[in-house]
């Protein structure tokens, strides 16, 4: 495959992860982002041994968007610290069914991950292994698709939990379009859809110079096309 690389230097690269690809090393024979990035680095600069690729953050397999991968351990350490300190800003666009009660706000919940079923759910604070999940949202556009009212939401994560956006949106009454795991409408057998979620923007500080660097890309997928907000993106 041809990687869509938005930026690259000796320390890290910014790349667009396609929908349907694992963001880290996959256990199957299917392609994954780490393998593709390693292949790209080796092609540019063939050296003995396997290139180093540091995974800084993750995107769910059915979600596409902007990602950063480190090319050195020093860069990986710096970038990981930015994530832990919530200094790496990520903006997502999601298409949800219906319209949220409020046009903007914050959701604060506790999520519990079910490793057996690869899913998460909102639980009470006192539940063992429950983790705080917080995000802010803003409704930026509305549209109709296949006779259904949909809302385009801009979402900023304050924490990074398993399936966080998908779980919290569904839990608050507005599941994502196409989400076969958390939206009952798309759980029928034989249904094949992509989750209407895209990691559209990423802002970080360069791991060496400290310079603030923003990167963005327009959400891809048929479900995003009805929204005029994205026309001039």
Distance in Å from the first CA to the final CA of the chain: 25
Rounded CA Rg of the chain = 18
The answer to whether the beta carbons of residues 205 and 213 sit under 8 Å apart is yes
Catalytic site includes residue 77:
no
- CA–CA separation, 205 vs 103, rounded Å? 31
- CA–CA separation, 172 vs 105, rounded Å? 12
Placement of tokens 């923003």 in the chain:
214
Where on the phi/psi map is residue 128: left (φ > 0), alpha (ψ -120 to 50), or beta?
beta
* CB neighbour class for 52 (10 Å; exposed up to 12, middle 13-18, buried from 19): middle
Helix (H, G, I), strand (E, B) or coil at 78: helix
Q: Which of 32, 60, 109, 179 is catalytic?
A: 60
- CA–CA separation, 171 vs 153, rounded Å? 15
Sequential DSSP letters for 155-167: EEESS--TTHHHH
Which residues participate in catalysis according to the annotation? Answer: 60
């Amino acid at each position: 495959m041809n990687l869509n690389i938005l930026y690259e230097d000796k320390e890290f690269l910014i790349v667009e992860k396609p929908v349907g690809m694992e963001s880290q090393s996959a256990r199957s024979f299917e392609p994954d982002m780490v393998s593709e990035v390693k292949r790209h680095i080796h092609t540019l600069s063939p050296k003995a041994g396997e290139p180093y690729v540091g995974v800084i953050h993750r995107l769910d397999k059915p979600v596409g968007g902007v990602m950063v991968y480190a090319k050195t351990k020093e860069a990986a350490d710096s970038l990981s610290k930015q994530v832990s300190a919530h200094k790496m800003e990520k903006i997502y666009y999601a298409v949800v069914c219906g319209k949220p009660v409020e046009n903007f706000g914050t959701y604060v919940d506790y999520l519990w991950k079910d490793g057996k079923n690869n899913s998460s759910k909102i639980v009470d604070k006192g539940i063992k292994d429950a983790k705080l999940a917080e995000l802010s949202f803003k409704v930026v556009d509305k549209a109709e698709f296949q006779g259904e009212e949909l809302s385009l939401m801009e979402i900023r994560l304050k924490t990074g939990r398993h399936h966080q956006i998908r779980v919290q949106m569904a839990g608050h009454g507005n599941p994502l379009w196409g989400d076969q795991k958390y939206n009952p409408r798309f759980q029928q057998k034989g249904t094949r859809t992509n989750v209407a979620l895209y990691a559209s923007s990423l802002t970080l500080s360069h791991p060496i110079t400290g310079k603030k660097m923003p990167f963005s890309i327009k959400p891809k997928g048929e479900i995003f096309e009805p929204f005029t907000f994205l026309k001039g993106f």
